Amino acid sequence: MITKEDIACMERLFGSRTRAVLLAKLFEEPAESHYLRELSRELELAFSAVHREMENLERLGLVVEERRGRERFFCVNRGSPVARELRRVFICCRTRK
């Protein structure tokens, strides 16, 4: 489980609390797809912020989108070497204690 201290570390690294929280959630469960509204509610983040950050992460190639009807789901782009290495950074931050 990612702690508040882990998120604070990631926030300093990435410059955005929303981005850090989203990446932590996605990297914790890399095989899972997440619905935007579900992420917004579960992580207690504004939907607009989640939407904006997921668009940014998709443009960077870190996440991929899957459409199911009108709903958009996102998951880690497991084919991305950058995503794989970034996940390792999150794991290192989590276990640095």
Sorted by sequence, the CB contacts under 8 Å of residue 63 that are 6+ apart come out as 26, 54, 57, 74, 75, 76, 77, 83
- CATH number for 52: 1.10.10.10
pLDDT at residue number 30: 85
Helix (H, G, I), strand (E, B) or coil at 78: coil
Number of domains the chain is built from = 1
pLDDT at residue number 19: 87
Q: Are 52 and 17 in contact (CB under 8 A)?
A: no
Mean pLDDT, contiguous 10-residue spans, the chain (97 residues): 70 77 88 92 95 90 91 91 86 66
pLDDT at residue number 10: 67
Domain that holds residue 17: 4-95
SS3 content of the chain, % helix, strand, coil (to 5): 60, 15, 25
Q: What is the pTM of this model?
A: 0.79
